Amino acid sequence: MRFLAVLVAALAATLAAVVLIDPYDSGRFPTIGIVGISDTNQRTEYVSLGRSHKFNAAIFSDSHGQLLDPDRLTQATGLSFVQLSIPGAMAPEQLAVMRWFIRHHAQIGALVLAADQRWCGEDPQPWKWFPFWLYGDSDLQYLASSLNSRSVGAAVRRIEHAMGLLQPSDRRGYDDYEARRPPDYTFAFPPPPPPAPPPAPIDLAARVFPAIDRLKAELDAAPTGTSLVVVFPPVYIAALPSDAQAVAELAECKARLARLARATPHGGFLDYLIDSPIARDQASFQDVDHYRAPVARRIEHDIAGVLKGPAAASR
Amino acid sequence: MLFQSQGFILIFLPLAVAAYYAVAGSERARHAVLITASLVFYGWWDARFIALLVGQISATWLIAYWHKRVGRAAILVVGIALNLASLATFKYLDFLLASAEWLTGFALPRAHILLPIGISFFSFQLISYLVDRMRGDAPLYPFRPFALFVLLFPHLIAGPIVRHNELVPQLALDPRRDGLWRRIAVGLMLFTLGFAKKVLIADRLADMVDPAFTAAAAHPLGLIDAWHAALAFSFQLFLDFSAYTEMAIGIALMFGLLLPENFRRPYLATDLRDFWRRWHISLSNFIRDYLYIPLGGSRHGAARYVLATLLSMGLCGLWHGAGWTFAAWGVWHGIGLVVCRFWQQLARPMPAALGWLVTMAFVLAGWVLFRAADFATAASMLTSLVGLHGAGGSFGDPGLIIVAALVSALIPSAHEIKDRATWPHPAFAAAAAMLAAYCVLEVGKGPPLSFIYFRF
C-alpha cells in the first residue's frame, strides 16, 4: 500500500506541478503566473509565441523559411510578425503550428508559408518526434502527454527563467543560422547539371496533394481577411528537381498553392524555386539547400510588396 | 501495448487488477476478466491477429477433445502439424522461399506476411500440450482455463514459456488466499525492478548498440569499438529480456499466479552447460523435453548425442528468427555444448575463473552472430574483436557498461527475490515507488522501444 500511495502521489504531484508551471506556456489551464519562457527548441518554443497576441502575422516553414526576419517584415508591412519555422518540420508539423496560431487569434493580418517539395507529397507522414499534443485541440491529450521527464525539465527551466537564471527565448522566435556559421566555413558546391530539354507535359489533374487540402481547411477556419502568401524559397541549381515526374509534380503543386494564396485578400505567390540567377550564384547559398542573408532580404522585400500592393503579385 | 508504456502502467494494469479482484469470488468471472484483458492487450498491436491466436487455441483444444473421444494418436499429430504449419507460414515462409531460391537459382515470389507478435511462444505452448497428451501427461481441460493458459497476457507475447500443468491448476485458486498482500508487494517490486532495468539500462545500451552494428555492416570497426558494441549488446539482450521476465512474473503475481523462472544470472556461468541452465530456462527446458530427448539425448551413444544436440540447438536458433545467422548461432552453441560435455568427461576441470572466461568469450562471440544482420557483418565484427582491423574506437560510456555488468551479476533471479523477500520495509517501498515514478516519467518522453524478444 505504501508503494502504491507513494507512486500515485509522486505522479499526481508531478502532473500538478507541470500543469501549474505550464512549462511551454500553453495557456490551457490556470497557472502560477510565470511570464515568458526560456526555450531553444523551436518544436516546443512556438507553443508560447504561437498563441501570443503581440503578433498578428506569422511565418511557417522548415529551415527554408528560417532566415526570414520577422522584425524586418514587421517594419516593412506594419503587421506584427512572429517566426514559427521549425527546422526539419514536414507539412503536418507546419500545419499543426499554423492551426495553433489560427486558433489563438481573432484577427490575423497575414500567414506566410515558405513551402518546399515537402508540401507536394502524396502521403505526407507526421514526424515521429514532433509534440503534436502540445499544439493539438485536446486539453485531455495535453494532460495525458505532460507526464514525462522532458516536461519536468522544461518546468524546471521555466522556474529558473522566472528567477532570472536563464535568458528568455527570442521575442519573435527568430534564429539566424548564418550567425552560427564558423568564420572559416566553406561548402563544396556540386557542379550545375547540364541543361536538360523541357520535360514532356504530364497530366496531374487527378494527383492528390493532401497537405494542400489540409492547408485549405485551416485557411477556411481562419478569421475573415487573413492573407496567405506562399513563397517557394530558392535552392542552389544542383538541388532543383530534374526528373520529369518530379518537375511536373512540383509545377502542379506550385499552381495549386498559388491559386489558394491568390484567393485570399492581399494574398500572393512568390516562386524562387526555379532556375534563375539566384539559383546559379554560389554566393547566395550556405549550402545547396539554404540561402544567405541577401536572398532573405530580397524575399522579405517581395513578401512586403505582395501584402502592401495589389493582390496576386507574382514574379 | 508494452509493459513499460504509460498506458499499460497507469490505465490497463490497474483496471485489469481492480476488475479481477472485484470478481475474485467467482472463478468463471475471474477467467473472463483475464481473457478479456489478454485479448485487448494482444489486439492493441494488431487486432487482425486475434483471430489467428484464438483460432489456433480453439483448434488445438478441439483436436484434444476429439482425441479424448476417439483415442487415436494420429489426431494429435494433425494438431501438432497444424500449429507447426501456422508457425511456418507466418514466421518462416519468406525465409524458406529465399532459401529455396538460393539453392535452386529459380526466382520465387515472397508472401510478405506480417509476423504475428508472440507466435513462437503461443505455438510452442500449444505444441507442448499436444505432445504431453500423446505421452499421456496432459488431461483434457475445460476450454476456458485451457484458453487462458495460452492467452494470459503477462506471458503471451514473450514468455516465460509456460506448460499447461504449471498454470492451469493455479487458475482455480482463489487469488485472495493467504499471502495476498505479500504476493502483490513482491509483484510490484519485481515489476519495478524490470521496469527500471529496461528503461534506465537496456534502452540506453540500445542507443550504443544499434549504431555500432549498423556501422559494422558498412565498414570494419576497430578493436575497441567492436568490444564496446559486443559487450553492450550482451548486456542489453540479457537486461532487456530478463526485465521483461521480471515484469511478467511480477504482473502474474499481482493476479495470484506464479510463472516459471527464466534467468538465473547467466553471466556468472562457469561452463556452457551451466549457461544454458541459467539462460532462457523455460525455452531450454522446452528444447530439452520436446526435441533433445525425443531425438535420442545422451543415452544412445556419442554419435546420436552429437546429432541430437546440434539439431536441437540449430532449431533453437531458428526459433529465435527466420534467418541462417540464428541457425548458425544455435549450432555454434550446440558445438560448444558437445565440446563442454566431452571436456567434462575427461574429469580435468578448468579453474572456475578460466572456465568463466572461456564461457563468456564463447557466449559473446555467439551474440555477435545473433545480432548481426548477416554473416558478412558478423565476420567483420568477429575479426574486429580479435584486432584484425586495428585498435581504433572509444569506449563511449564505460559507466553504463559497468552498471549493466554489476546489475547482471548481482541481482538475483525473480524467483530467488520472491522466495527470499521479507515483507518490504515502508521506506524501501517508498523508494521503489519513486524509482517507478521516475521511470514512468522517462518513458513518457517518447515512443518506448519494444523488447528484443517480441520479434521472436
CA separation for the pair A266, A226 (Å, rounded): 9
Which DSSP symbol is given to A232? E
pLDDT of residue B114: 81
Q: What is the pLDDT of residues B1-50, one digit of tens each?
A: 888 889 999 999 999 999 999 999 999 999 999 999 999 999 998 888 99
DSSP label at residue A114: E
Which stretch of B95-109, B281-295, B320-334, B361-375 has the lowest confidence by average pLDDT?
Answer: B95-109
For residue B128, what are the contacts with CB-CB under 8 A and spacing of at least 6?
B161, B163, B164, B286, B289, B290
A140 in contact with B at a CB cutoff of 8 Å?
no
pLDDT of residue A311: 43
Task: Calculate mean pLDDT across residues A293-309.
Answer: 94
**Nearest C-alpha in B relative to A4:** B433
Please, what are the domains in chain A? 42-136+172-314 (3.40.50.1110)
Over residues A55-94, the pLDDT tens digits come to: 999 999 999 999 999 999 999 999 999 999 999 999 999 9
Among candidate residues A75, A58, A64, the one with its CA nearest the CA of residue A111 = A58
Q: Among residues B164, B401, B191, B188, which one has the least CA distance to residue B260?
A: B164
Alpha-carbon B334 to chain mean position = 19
**Pick from A4, A6, A152: CB nearest B441:** A152
Residue partners of A52: CB distance under 8 A and separation at least 6: A82
**CB within 8 Å: B441 and A129:** no
Asked if A156 reaches chain B (Cβ–Cβ under 8 Å), the answer is no
Nearest CA in chain B to A132: B446
Residues of A in contact with B199 (CB under 8 A): none
Out of B280, B320, B333, B389, pick the active-site residue: B320
- B415 belongs to the catalytic site: no
**3-state SS, residue A128:** coil
Model confidence at A315: pLDDT above 50: no
Q: Is B342 on the interface with A (CB under 8 A)?
A: no
How many Å lie between the alpha carbon of A256 and the closest alpha carbon of chain B? 35
H or E, element range at A231? strand A227-232
Distance CA B423, CA B186 (A): 8
Whether the CB of B18 is below 8 Å from some CB of chain A: the reply is: no
In this predicted model, what pLDDT tens digit does every residue of B139-150 receive, in sequence order?
999 999 999 999
| Dihedral angle sign, alpha carbons of residues B239, B241, B245, B248 | positive
Which pLDDT score, from 0 to 100, does residue A183 have? 83
Instruction: Evaluate whether A56 touches A225 at the Cβ level (below 8 Å).
Output: no
| Spatial distance between the Cα atoms of A59 and A85, rounded to a whole number of angstroms | 6
Interface of B with A in 162-201 (CB under 8 A): 181, 185, 188-189, 192
- Cα(A101)–Cα(A223) distance, rounded to whole angstroms? 11
B254: Cα separation from own chain's centroid: 21
Interface test with B, best of A4, A7, A127 (most B CBs within 10 A): A7
Chain A closest-CA separation from residue B435 CA (Å): 9
Residue A284 DSSP one-character state: G
- Spatial distance between the Cα atoms of B358 and B336, rounded to a whole number of angstroms: 11
Residues of A in contact with B188 (CB under 8 A): 3-4
Return the bridge partners of A60, or none: A113
Most confident stretch, A111-120, A123-132, A157-166: A111-120
The CA distance from B209 to the nearest CA of chain A, in Å, is 21
A144 CB neighbours in chain B (<8 A) are 6
Q: Which among B185, B192, B434 has CB closest to A10?
A: B434
Chain A CA closest to residue B184: A1
Distances (CA, A) of B333 to A270, B235, B307, B373: 66, 18, 13, 19
The residue count of chain A comes to 315
The residue ranking higher by pLDDT, A244 or B168, is B168
Residue whose C-alpha cell reads 550504443 in the numeric block: B208
DSSP summary character for residue A14: H
Residue A309 has pLDDT above 90, yes or no: no
Query: What's chain B look like in SS3?
Result: CCCCCHHHHHHHHHHHHHHHHHCCCCHHHHHHHHHHHHHHHHHCCCCHHHHHHHHHHHHHHHHHHHHHHHCCHHHHHHHHHHHHHHHHHHHHHHHHHHHHHHHHCCCCCCCCCCCCCCHHHHHHHHHHHHHHHHCCCCCCCCHHHHHHHHHCHHHHCCCCCCCHHHHHHHHCCCCCCCCHHHHHHHHHHHHHHHHHHHHHHHHHHHHHHHHHHHHHHHCCCCHHHHHHHHHHHHHHHHHHHHHHHHHHHHHHHHCCCCCCCCCCCHHHCCCHHHHHHHCCHHHHHHHHHHHHCCCCCCCCCHHHHHHHHHHHHHHHHHHHCCCHHHHHHHHHHHHHHHHHHHHHHCCCCCCHHHHHHHHHHHHHHHHHHHHCCCHHHHHHHHHHHCCCCCCCCCCCCHHHHHHHHHHHHHCCCHHHHHHHCCCCCHHHHHHHHHHHHHHHHHHCCCCCCCCHHHHC
Contact: A148, B447; criterion CB under 8 Å: no
Q: What is the pLDDT of residues B382-413, one digit of tens each?
A: 999 988 888 877 777 889 999 999 999 999 99
The DSSP bridge partners found for residue A83 are A59
Would the CB atoms of A3 and B438 count as touching at under 8 Å? no
Question: Of A6, A149, A150, which has the smallest distance from its Cβ to B430's Cβ?
Answer: A6
What tens digit of pLDDT does each residue of B181-238 get?
A: 889 989 999 999 999 999 999 999 998 898 889 888 888 889 999 999 999 999 999 9
Closest-CA distance of chain A to residue B265, Å: 27
Residue A59 β-bridge partners: A83, A112
How many angstroms away from the CA of A42 is the closest CA of chain B? 17
At B74-120, the pLDDT tens digits run: 999 999 999 999 998 988 888 888 888 888 888 888 878 888 888 98
> How far is it, in rounded angstroms, from Cα A228 to Cα A263?
9
The C-alpha cell of B188 is what? Answer: 510490484
Per-residue pLDDT tens for A2-60? 777 788 888 888 888 888 889 999 989 888 888 888 888 889 989 999 999 999 999 99
The whole-angstrom distance between residue B45's C-alpha and the CA centroid of its chain comes to 18
Nearest to B61 by CA among B136, B124, B150: B150
The pLDDT of residue B411 is: 93
Return the residue matching grid coordinates 545547396: A288
C-alpha distance from residue B382 to each of B255, B359, B426, B444 (Å): 45, 16, 49, 37
Percent share of chain A, pLDDT over 70: 98
The answer to whether A2 contacts chain B (CB < 8 Å) is yes
Determine the Cα–Cα distance for residues A251 and B211; give it in Å rounded to an integer: 39
Is A145 in Cβ contact with B441 (below 8 Å)?
Answer: no
